[in-house]
Amino acid sequence: MNILVSACLLGVDCRYCGSGLFNAEVYKLKSSHNLIPVCPEQLGGLTTPRNPVELVNGRAVDKDNNDYTGQFEKGAEETVKIAKLLDCPFAILKSNSPSCGYGKVYDGTFQGTLVNGKGITAAKLE
Protein backbone atom coordinates (compact mmCIF):
# COMPACT_ATOMS: atom_id res chain seq x y z
CA MET A 1 0.00 0.00 0.00
CA ASN A 2 1.15 3.54 -0.79
CA ILE A 3 1.04 6.00 2.10
CA LEU A 4 1.55 9.72 1.64
CA VAL A 5 3.97 11.04 4.29
CA SER A 6 5.14 14.53 5.21
CA ALA A 7 8.71 14.42 3.92
CA CYS A 8 10.06 16.07 7.07
CA LEU A 9 8.93 13.05 9.11
CA LEU A 10 11.26 10.92 6.99
CA GLY A 11 14.19 13.22 7.75
CA VAL A 12 14.04 15.38 4.62
CA ASP A 13 15.28 18.88 5.48
CA CYS A 14 12.24 20.73 4.18
CA ARG A 15 10.71 22.39 7.26
CA TYR A 16 10.55 26.17 7.47
CA CYS A 17 13.69 26.19 9.65
CA GLY A 18 15.66 24.09 7.16
CA SER A 19 15.60 20.84 9.14
CA GLY A 20 13.68 17.59 9.06
CA LEU A 21 11.85 16.01 11.94
CA PHE A 22 12.71 12.33 11.57
CA ASN A 23 10.16 9.97 13.11
CA ALA A 24 11.46 6.42 13.57
CA GLU A 25 7.97 4.94 13.95
CA VAL A 26 6.86 6.38 10.61
CA TYR A 27 10.13 5.28 8.98
CA LYS A 28 9.58 1.69 10.14
CA LEU A 29 6.46 1.53 7.97
CA LYS A 30 8.69 1.37 4.89
CA SER A 31 9.26 -2.33 5.56
CA SER A 32 5.62 -3.09 4.78
CA HIS A 33 4.37 -0.06 2.77
CA ASN A 34 5.50 2.30 0.06
CA LEU A 35 6.05 5.68 1.69
CA ILE A 36 5.49 8.62 -0.65
CA PRO A 37 7.26 11.71 0.74
CA VAL A 38 5.76 15.13 0.02
CA CYS A 39 6.35 18.64 1.25
CA PRO A 40 3.34 20.73 0.25
CA GLU A 41 5.11 23.99 1.04
CA GLN A 42 7.99 23.16 -1.32
CA LEU A 43 5.52 21.85 -3.92
CA GLY A 44 3.84 25.26 -3.69
CA GLY A 45 7.11 26.99 -4.57
CA LEU A 46 8.34 28.08 -1.15
CA THR A 47 12.04 27.94 -0.36
CA THR A 48 13.75 26.17 2.49
CA PRO A 49 14.46 27.72 4.91
CA ARG A 50 11.58 30.19 5.00
CA ASN A 51 9.81 32.38 7.53
CA PRO A 52 7.45 30.50 9.83
CA VAL A 53 3.83 30.74 8.73
CA GLU A 54 0.62 30.31 10.71
CA LEU A 55 -3.03 30.40 9.71
CA VAL A 56 -4.89 33.64 10.39
CA ASN A 57 -8.55 33.71 9.36
CA GLY A 58 -7.88 30.99 6.80
CA ARG A 59 -4.86 32.79 5.33
CA ALA A 60 -1.26 31.54 5.52
CA VAL A 61 0.80 34.50 6.77
CA ASP A 62 4.14 35.09 8.43
CA LYS A 63 4.90 37.43 11.36
CA ASP A 64 5.34 40.35 8.95
CA ASN A 65 1.86 39.68 7.52
CA ASN A 66 3.27 38.48 4.18
CA ASP A 67 0.57 36.30 2.64
CA TYR A 68 1.59 32.89 1.31
CA THR A 69 -1.89 31.48 0.92
CA GLY A 70 -1.46 31.04 -2.84
CA GLN A 71 1.67 28.94 -2.40
CA PHE A 72 0.05 26.87 0.36
CA GLU A 73 -3.02 26.21 -1.80
CA LYS A 74 -0.85 25.32 -4.81
CA GLY A 75 1.18 22.90 -2.69
CA ALA A 76 -2.01 21.34 -1.34
CA GLU A 77 -3.37 20.85 -4.86
CA GLU A 78 -0.11 19.25 -6.02
CA THR A 79 -0.10 16.96 -2.98
CA VAL A 80 -3.66 15.84 -3.75
CA LYS A 81 -2.61 15.12 -7.35
CA ILE A 82 0.25 12.93 -6.10
CA ALA A 83 -2.04 11.10 -3.66
CA LYS A 84 -4.51 10.36 -6.46
CA LEU A 85 -1.86 9.47 -9.04
CA LEU A 86 -0.18 6.98 -6.71
CA ASP A 87 -3.41 5.73 -5.10
CA CYS A 88 -2.53 6.67 -1.53
CA PRO A 89 -5.52 5.82 0.68
CA PHE A 90 -3.80 7.17 3.81
CA ALA A 91 -1.57 10.06 4.79
CA ILE A 92 0.72 10.58 7.76
CA LEU A 93 1.21 14.30 8.18
CA LYS A 94 3.26 16.60 10.40
CA SER A 95 1.16 17.75 13.34
CA ASN A 96 0.35 21.41 14.01
CA SER A 97 1.62 22.54 10.60
CA PRO A 98 -0.25 25.23 8.64
CA SER A 99 -0.06 22.80 5.71
CA CYS A 100 -0.23 19.36 7.25
CA GLY A 101 -1.71 19.82 10.72
CA TYR A 102 -4.87 17.87 11.44
CA GLY A 103 -6.94 18.55 14.54
CA LYS A 104 -4.65 21.26 15.92
CA VAL A 105 -2.76 24.14 14.29
CA TYR A 106 -1.03 27.21 15.65
CA ASP A 107 -3.42 30.10 16.23
CA GLY A 108 -1.68 32.80 14.18
CA THR A 109 -0.17 34.73 17.10
CA PHE A 110 3.27 33.08 16.76
CA GLN A 111 3.19 32.40 20.51
CA GLY A 112 3.06 28.59 20.24
CA THR A 113 -0.66 28.46 21.04
CA LEU A 114 -2.61 25.61 19.44
CA VAL A 115 -6.26 25.76 18.42
CA ASN A 116 -8.60 23.27 16.81
CA GLY A 117 -8.18 23.28 13.06
CA LYS A 118 -6.60 21.77 9.96
CA GLY A 119 -3.76 22.80 7.75
CA ILE A 120 -4.51 23.72 4.15
CA THR A 121 -3.17 20.44 2.71
CA ALA A 122 -4.78 18.27 5.38
CA ALA A 123 -8.15 19.87 4.66
CA LYS A 124 -7.81 19.29 0.90
CA LEU A 125 -6.74 15.68 1.38
CA GLU A 126 -9.68 15.04 3.66
- Phi then psi for residue 61, to 5 deg, are -130, 155
The model carries a pTM of 0.94
Distance CA 53, CA 61 (A): 5
Q: What is the pLDDT of residues 50-69, one digit of tens each?
A: 999 999 999 999 999 999 99
Q: Where are the domains of the chain?
A: 2-125
> Any bridge partners for residue 91, and if so which?
4
Distance CA 75, CA 3 (A): 18
In tens digits, what is the pLDDT along the chain, a chain of 126 residues? 999 999 999 999 999 999 999 999 999 999 999 999 999 999 999 999 999 999 999 999 999 999 999 999 999 999 999 999 999 999 999 999 999 999 999 999 999 999 999 999 999 999
